[in-house]
């Protein structure tokens, strides 16, 4: 039976707008969208974790927040020149920061 299940051919299904299959299903109200929610989160969410294994180190997050960059949105809109003026942040670190921010926005 397991071999049949694993080797089975896909069985496509179609649902039509005029169909009644899901007619009785009530959808919950959707929240009002205000843009990407990640942009309003604190920059600390970008720390190394299961979600961001290549995330920012605690030390880097401390330097960013010390420079007044406290949200992901602020970090995303801060130009490279401003980031470069923060102690111990150079081109390689800026590239890493950008990659983590892009990953967070993409997710």
How far is 84 from 93, CA to CA, in rounded Å?
9
pTM > 0.85: yes or no? no
- Give per-residue pLDDT as tens, 60-90: 999 999 999 999 999 999 999 999 999 999 9
How many domains is the chain partitioned into structurally?
A: 1
> Quick check: is 56 in a domain?
yes
Per DSSP, the three-state class of 64 is helix
The first and second tokens of residue 78, run together, are 């801060």
Domain hosting residue 83, numbered range: 36-107
pLDDT-based confidence at residue 1 (cuts at 50, 70, 90) = low
Three-state DSSP string of the chain: CHHHHHHCCCCCCCCCCCCCCCCCCCCCCCCCCCCCHHHHCEHHHHECCCCCCCCECHHHHHHHHHCCCCEHHHHHHCCHHHHHCCCCCCHHHHHHHHHHHHHHHHC
> Quick check: is 19 in a domain?
no
> Quick check: is 88 in a domain?
yes
Q: Report the mean per-residue pLDDT for the chain.
A: 88
What pLDDT does 64 receive? 97
What pLDDT does 7 receive? 75
| 8 Å CB contact between 74 and 97 | no
pLDDT-based confidence at residue 54 (cuts at 50, 70, 90) = confident
> Quick check: is 24 in a domain?
no
Average of pLDDT values for 11-36? 78
Rounded to an integer, what is the distance from CA 85 to the centroid of its chain? 26
pLDDT more than 70, % of the chain:
95
> Quick check: is 55 in a domain?
yes
> Quick check: is 80 in a domain?
yes
**CATH code assigned at 105:** 1.10.150.20
DSSP bridge pairs for 56: 47
> Quick check: is 104 in a domain?
yes
> Quick check: is 4 in a domain?
no
């Amino acid at each position: 039976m397991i071999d049949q299940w694993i080797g089975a051919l896909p069985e496509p299904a179609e649902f039509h707008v005029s169909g009644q299959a899901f007619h009785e299903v009530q959808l919950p109200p959707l929240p009002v969208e205000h843009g990407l929610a990640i942009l309003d989160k604190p920059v600390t969410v970008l720390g190394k974790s299961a979600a961001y294994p290549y995330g920012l180190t605690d030390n880097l997050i401390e330097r960013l927040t010390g420079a007044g960059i406290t949200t992901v949105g602020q970090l995303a809109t801060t130009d490279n020149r401003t980031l470069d003026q923060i102690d111990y942040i150079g081109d390689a670190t800026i590239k890493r920061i950008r990659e983590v921010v892009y990953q967070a926005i993409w997710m």
